[in-house]
Amino acid sequence: MKKKPEKQEKQEKQEKQEKQEKQEKQEKQEKQEDKNVFDLIEGLTSVDPDQLADFEKAMSDEVIPEIVKMVEKRRMLAAKSRHWPLKC
């Protein structure tokens, strides 16, 4: 069997190596994108979720229902004010 020329063999080897490097780089990049944003910021520490219990309760019981009510109220008022004439 005829042996490949040395130059061609070297080129093929280089191409293979480049392909492998590219693949590794891509995999590394994908892993970085999959990372949680918290893994990218140094110095973060956990917070006891119980410390937010009062805030979350206030949001669920008072704030969100009031927001929804107010948004609905303005929607109803807007249905009327849409017909105000403007001509001055």
Partner 1 sequence: MYTWIPLNSSADLDALGAEISAEYDPQSIIKRLRAGISGAVKGVLIERNYVDKDYRSTYYNFYAKKGQFYRAHCVRLHFFDATVTFDAKALKLGCPDGQLQDHYFGFIVLRPTGIATIGRSVLSPDVRMGTSGYIITATHKVHLLGYKLSIQGFPSMDQHIDISVCAHVACWSILRHYSERYSVYREFLTHDITLMTQQFNPGGLVPSKGLEVSHAERVFQEAGTFPMQVPRAGKNDTSFYRQLYAYVESGFPLFAAMQSRQHAIAVVGYAWHPAVLTPIKKMQYAWDKVKSLVVVDDNHLPYHSIPVHGGTGYSAEDIDDFIVALPEKIFYPADAVDRLAPTLFQLGTLLALPPENKTILRYFITTGSALRSFMRKRESEFDPKLLETVMTLPFAQFVWIVELATAADWAAGQISARAVLDATASLRERLPFWLFHNRSKALVFNRNSVGAGAKGIRELALSGMEKTALTRLDQNLRPTQSK
58 binds partner 1 (CB under 8 A): yes
- Binding string, 16-35, against partner 1, x = CB under 8 A? --------------------
| Of 29, 28, 5, 9, residue with least CA distance to 17 | 9
Which residue do the tokens 């918290």 mark? 38
Scanning 9-17, 21-29, 39-47 for contacts with partner 1 by CB under 8 A, the matching segment is 39-47
Residue 41 CB, nearest approach to partner 1 (Å): 5
User: How far is Cα 53 from Cα 59, in angstroms, rounded to an integer?
Assistant: 10
